Structure 1
Amino acid sequence: MSENKTDNKPDNKSQAKFSDFGLSDSILKVLDSIGYETPSPIQEQCITHAFNGEDIIGQAQTGTGKTAAFALPLLDNIDLSLNAPQLLILAPTRELAIQVSEAVQTYARGLKGFHVLPIYGGQSYDVQLRPLKRGVHAVVGTPGRVMDHIKKGTLKLDNIKSFVLDEADEMLKMGFIDDIKWVMER
């Protein structure tokens, strides 16, 4: 896969619309309902590449829509008839895992039957096991808890189409490099 690096440098001449990217009508309706009118620079630079399955390294300030930049196109590639994880997002903290999971659920509101599950330490395994057994389409988790579920056989990565490292720089600073490598090798 090719790799695209993007920096969020304001570009006031852009007049792109979310409909320009080939996103599904259900995603576009959700974006309209939550008031997203035009893509931010990071979204404009990333959506097409992510939609095409390309590797991306994106960097932008907080509040610029990075989660939507990767989530919107990846959600459009989910096969809702397959009740197995197809999107895995690693986040450095439980707070970010919850926040990203909630954002993904919001963007997927128009995808009938879509399920996302945040998994992180400090929460009972039982709370996480029930949805995993029932079937989820996306998992957002911290590296340690994701590893635990993989080792126990409760999280299978056979159907993963997309893998995201959210706040990758923070995960590296926090010493998660070996955990990330371990998950990627699975």
Structure 2
Amino acid sequence: MQQKTFYDLGLSKQVLQGIEMMGYVIPSPIQEKAIPVLLEGHDIIGQAQTGTGKTLAFGSVLLSCIEKHNKDVQALILSPTRELALQIDEELRRIGKYTNLSIVSVYGGSEIEKQIRTLKKVQISWLEHQDVF
């Protein structure tokens, strides 16, 4: 059986460019299983060890499905810590490098007025929320 590549999973051309730029060709098991199901619009719960590509799995689908011409916030990701929010932000910016989507992270310790202004101009937002888990 031939091993699947990211090109076999149905992601957008721009997201595939970002993934290729990151040096990935073969999806990890969590990515191979999750991406097609998420692209069909189903909810999933996935569990895998740190470093296996969970953020790329959900982020690549999210970035592939955002309506580029709709300037409203279309996705909201909750993170239990600022550190994880910043990691997610960095990863999705790399995956979405060629999508021309607006992304912002909102977290404590940063000027709230500036964050509110920025939120009015983005399509994807992260919120640090310590009460999520």
TM norm structure 2? 0.93
Give, as a single letter, the amino acid of the residue that structure 1 aligns with 2:44. I
Q: Greater relative contact order: 1 or 2 (C-alpha under 8 angstroms, separation 6 or more)? A: 2
Do the aligned partners of 1:16 and 1:39 also contact (CA within 8 Å) in 2?
Answer: yes
Do the aligned partners of 1:92 and 1:142 also contact (CA within 8 Å) in 2?
Answer: yes
Do the aligned partners of 1:120 and 1:141 also contact (CA within 8 Å) in 2?
Answer: yes
Give, as a single letter, the amino acid of the residue that structure 1 aligns with 2:106. I
2:102 corresponds to: 115
Q: Percent identity?
A: 41
2:34 is the alignment partner of 1:34: no
Per-residue CA deviation, residues 38-84 of structure 1 (Å, 9 max, x unaligned), is: 00001011001111111110101011001001010111110111111
Do the aligned partners of 1:105 and 1:115 also contact (CA within 8 Å) in 2?
Answer: no
Distance in 1, matches of 2:2 and 2:47, equals 19
Do the aligned partners of 2:119 and 2:125 also contact (CA within 8 Å) in 1?
Answer: no
TM norm structure 1? 0.67
2:126 is the alignment partner of 1:140: yes
Distance in 1, matches of 2:68 and 2:98, equals 12
2:94 equivalent among 95, 100, 106: 106
Structure 1 stretches of 4+ moved >4 Å: none
Do the aligned partners of 1:120 and 1:142 also contact (CA within 8 Å) in 2?
Answer: yes
Give, as a single letter, the amino acid of the residue that structure 1 aligns with 2:81. T
Give, as a single letter, the amino acid of the residue that structure 1 aligns with 2:12. S
Higher radius of gyration, 1 or 2: 1
2:63 equivalent among 50, 75, 97: 75
Task: State the number of aligned residues.
Answer: 133
Distance in 2, matches of 1:93 and 1:32, equals 29
**Structure 2 portions without partners, runs of 5+:** none
What is the Cα-based RMSD across aligned positions, in Å? 1.7
Give, as a single letter, the amino acid of the residue that structure 2 aligns with 1:140. W
Query: Could you say if the C-alpha distance between residues 131 and 46 of structure 1 is closer, same or farther in structure 2, counting changes exceeding 3 Å?
Result: same
1:127 equivalent among 89, 108, 114: 114
Distance in 1, matches of 2:27 and 2:119, equals 33
Give, as a single letter, the amino acid of the residue that structure 2 aligns with 1:26. Q
Distance in 2, matches of 1:108 and 1:48, equals 18
2:44 is the alignment partner of 1:56: yes
How far off its partner does 1:101 sit?
1.0
Residue 140 of structure 1 aligns to a residue whose secondary structure is: strand
